[in-house]
Amino acid sequence: MSNNEHHIHITPLKTYLVIYFTLLLMTLITLISVQFDFGSFNIVIAMIIASFKATLVLLFFMHLLYDNKINLAFLVASVVFLAVFIVITAVDTNYRNTLYDIRAKVVEEQAPAENFRNKKSY
């Protein structure tokens, strides 16, 4: 446990550069992919590419690949709970109109700002 090489993996310069250019390439691919209309798949494609980029950054730039795996576990946990939050909330919102029509209303232009402007308390 006592010396540098044992624990600290020093990523070679070349790896960093390869990752960097892959990231740029992926950005380019995203930009191209939105030129085509895949309907609702556009966002799926965009998110897959973004997640691929994110994974590269995490594994190589942020060294998760070589690190103590507990750090990775924390990151994964955060993403899982982020997903839980968004997915369940979205499920509710999507099923909101089964019995009653409950929808956010459309605000006319120039929303009624005056009644807020004169609030005194903070």
36 lies in the site for other proteins, by CB under 8 A? no
Q: How far is the CB of 96 from other proteins (least distance, A)?
A: 5
Site for other proteins in 39-58 (CB under 8 A): 42-43, 46-47, 49-50, 53-54, 57-58
Q: Which of 1, 65, 66, 69 binds other proteins (CB under 8 A)?
A: 1
Burial class (CB in 10 A: 0-12, 13-18, 19+), 63: middle
The residue among 67, 64, 73, 57 whose CA lies nearest residue 23 is 57
Q: Is position 65 an interface residue for other proteins (rule: CB under 8 A)?
A: no
Using the rule CB under 8 A, which residue among 14, 29, 75, 101 binds other proteins?
A: 75
Residues within window 90-109 making contact with other proteins, judged by CB under 8 A: 90-99, 102-107
CB count within 10 Å of CB 60 equals 19
DSSP 38-88: -TTHHHHHHHHHHHHHHHHIIIIIT-TTTS-HHHHHHHHHHHHHHHHHHHH
59 binds other proteins, rule: CB under 8 A: no
Q: Does 32 bind other proteins (CB under 8 A)?
A: no
